[in-house]
Structure 1
């Protein structure tokens, strides 16, 4: 019986019931030590019925061994790997050292998802992970990737964790508090009813409603004054053991794996024997089942570790290292040796570097960083120490631990004497700052690197200049732009250097950022055509795709982003997908394919969060907010100023919109592209407010920018702005002849129709207003279609709701993606691998989508595959 946990037990029962019906989900139980998290996991297992149960836990001693926690959970079911998609099965084998490591650690999480879904096929699956705050980072990341995607899988994943460990954004949580007084008294009386009244009140007061304290404190009353501290109570009970048994208990606490053979082998080196196990077992501090030893509670392990003096701890670690003779335990052995070391040891440092390399190959960036850092501490040679600290910083940055990477790079002062190591550390600091949103600091680091490399390695400097140029656009600071421009002007590259197109493109973008006509540069289309050939599938190549998006037709950028996304999926390079999907969604938004843009932007946000890329989560989120603004969804715009202002403009709140647009343009804009993009909106808002003079200077800026960029969509917007500030029909007709991006084209038609109606040309106003209304309705732009309909009514034209809606408009973005791929003939398993879902989730989405579409089989979907010009998008 669990006292005082009726609500939590009911919630778990409901989760299990839902799983038996095919649903899935995850839950994190949080609370202080001893508050009852493990007991609730035990309760869930006891009421799971016929569901399969897997159980694992984080182990403090294995926190630096990548995928140790995941292996503990999945080891009993690894025989099911052949049933998984090959890339995911291979990723799991690589994570566990059973094969080559995966190219992308995200695949490990997808493999976990597929494996759990496969195991749940016969009656559901319950996975219990205790002490999740002690999971190694790689295991935690993989399990969270799977947990966030549980939907129609019949899988329940329960985590128990302390605060503040195991951050799990996106997962529901239950925080366990102290028991109510009546429940605390009931538990105490049930477990220690013999207590005299005075001691009973003291225990209740000291325990503070903590269930473990209520059970354990009474056991120490006759031996030790009541302290109210569980750890001290456990230490007192351990201290009462014979010396040899106490030593063996310490070995078990510092081992952390529970392997009885290893504990006994190490214990023998320190005077312990198998006979001492009886005393340990009788103490009630441990449980022994077969060849495994476990502590009754994590606090017991912590208490035993805390009671051991430094000399004992060093000896125990050395004995454990000697006991781990299996080659598969090489990494565990190296960490015990490192824990026993008190002085530099070059041989041990070399072994730890090998541990770090293996961790990095398996995708354990955090574990690799820790091993490299400890290897540096043990290095006798100064250069080796600097090199290993550099590797530690790089591994931390790769693993998404940006603050840790930055700290290592800042303190690796000895490495900056070596030009190569210095350049690598500067790149780490820039990437970490970028990942943390510290754009000016990231740019400053890149500038330092460019200055260091400009003479000795101009190619590398040119690529850094591309990074710096992108930050100039994202941040919008003119001083940053001017510094990058000076560095560009000072760089010397031969005309035939293969990186020259990148350099020239950066020069063009510097001119754009400074709104200064380019001097002595080849024409932009020529530069773009040459740079397009360098857009390979890596982070810099993708950055080039984004840069080209400003300087070439939308269709060309869409084709580049489509190929990059498809290649990233095919090669399982999941970490590149947030960037390529964001670019793809951006071009689809420009081309008027809003449903596809929403689906790809949403996918980019999900993967960016799972792969620790907050910058791309924000950028893709901004696209979703912009789409929400077009459609009139106020909640979708929260936290995104530009989107909210566009929504205000669409709803007729021009004054509020104008203030935001002016702040984006004249304030310290966070995004140079946004600063220019809002000018046409600012001009319209100013004119609608009756303040056309506030539009004059912004329009002049935009005209300079447009002249340099020389793209049809930019010229069309500039012409529309002129039509508003200098009312003249020729400006409207110029803008409309360019036939650019659908949403903007429709807005121009709406403004033109309004102008014609006010000029008493009601009949002439009807065609552009009708065209605008049709586009707005197709795009679901409700505020704008309402305005177009009102204008048509004022022009004497009766309107009706258009029936030419997207036949798939009723689907969610994910259902739309799945239907799109199913219509192309892909099986559920293939769709799941492509969209990073489980096959059962794909099947459930199709089950929901069919009635919405009025179809009953896959064969009928083929007729719907023409719903979008982007139907072949990845």
Structure 2
């Protein structure tokens, strides 16, 4: 299916101007002068006012002033004038007074470009109240005196139009894309357009033309820099106006390194050029600590100037800036990153120490692509082992295990810190790159230190040895000599380890401690706060505390989107997807997982790509789309994708729901039961509990309720008790107990579980003759299911007519409704064809139908009432 092209036409809908429009159209006489920067929508608003007033039956005229027409007296208004025998200005004004007797509406666009004679006509119309005027003027441009007099003399009102607020820009983006624009791309378009609707439209058109704006994984993404098309460049050059070469050179220097210290800029291009650029409104200055720095006055100026600059000029500017900055003390923390980036852009051999420091800062700021380029450049410039080591660490952060090259030993003279870093990199390469657990453990065991132990906690966690991980984390956290890096690593992995074991209180305790350490040492451990958040969210997911998990994931996701920080954004998008899927918000889940795949196409950090694909498959399966779910699961199963023992049960539970979506309910239940055994063997009691309850959700509660009851006594979180109560209630047909379980599910944010429980409660209460309770349960089930419009699960189908069927009759009927033959159904369910036909015949009789085609509408797994 083709990707629908965004609706980016020549005219946007009018947004963000409702207040001004209402005020203008309610004015009885005179008119209005609209003043604003180029592209803010003055002409669009003027056209809307004209259209509104035209519906009242008034005659309307449009005057468009241009630079070329400005040389011709009366040129802009010539079409308004009656035939004249004398073209003196006084005669023209007398003729205008005699001609305009019906008080028309006259719009004058770009009135700052009017010739003096035309401006006099416009002023005369206002002064004699011969017409209602709508005049647009570009802010900051010189105007004819007659135009300025319109509002200065009180003949018209003056309305200033600022850039559009964010919510109005969102309306324009929604008009163009609907909900199909990736959030980080939306954030970037906000920033680059700065609320200017004309520039926003031109940016989008340029992005479509250059391919930087493209459709991937169900959404539109801006994938690179703004590359200026001829049309976009013309628009920006028009805004810049005519400037001297020296001034444009100043703009190029600012674009090449903004913000640029003003003293440095004046050193490179001269004070006069800087002053002229600032006076023309092309450059702004602001204080940054004790320095005055210069920026271009609009974010798009820099994008377009950089895009249109000749490659040789761009290299020259970068080199000049780098040389100028290296002549300063470079005391600011980001100076190394800025100079290193400029040296990289200059194409010259850079200072290896600066490049290495820059690569480290880029890594700390989560800009892995830049960090990798800087590290490579540092190595090429002679930074040696340190650059190789940093490059390997960056590749590990990106999950680029196939490209990873671990450097050789740092040498006998290396300090202990370098030896530890090297050993941890070797261990990570063994585990994450090759799946060799024992070899990785041996490397870290030989180090025998807190930092090595902190790193080992992560490997133990992902190897599903949560009890060992938690014990080792506790050891590090109690160590008086542990440094912040060791504490952060131990805490961030210990939190989810405790969660998977069901120790939510312990997870909370570690989280509070680790968060404090990370906050106090953010410069030393820049990833600390994010790692704490990831660990906390995973712990909440493991224990079914989805309300808190969603609040955390969504808050951090929005923060990362605002910063356009791609790596953290991808991580939090994955957590949003996992939480939304567990809640039953399947559209949100699918969009989030697709965003991860689009944001991080070449990343497989922590070997989570397969899990992400499987979770997306599970979301589609729960929505009833078994074909797409199977395709996604096949991708997750690719032999080139490694995964961890921690998340393998997640993948297998997703597989169970793909079976269920295809109608193989018995097979799905059996696979969920096998997954529960896998989780038990792997030491994951909360995962086992979820898997066992999935067996119950698939119609076989009797086979799992005893084990769930045992787990309820072992787990210290509420999850085990709630799942066990629900399973026991299903076995006993106890709608009172099931209602209580639904209350607990809803409180924890497990909305889909709660909806399923209330659907079943409604049926059980109805069957027991408790009609009032059944009605109340039906109402509550409907309210829950309105939150989950896409959910399609067997328990949601166990109401009304489908509830008259046994689980096997319903399974056979569902497969038949999909158009499958009796022979194929028999093969899938390991039954005889005669048995299938018997089940089908009984289903027909109970439902009052005679063919497969009549089954589909009756078996739709939706609303109970």
Rg larger in 1 or in 2? 2
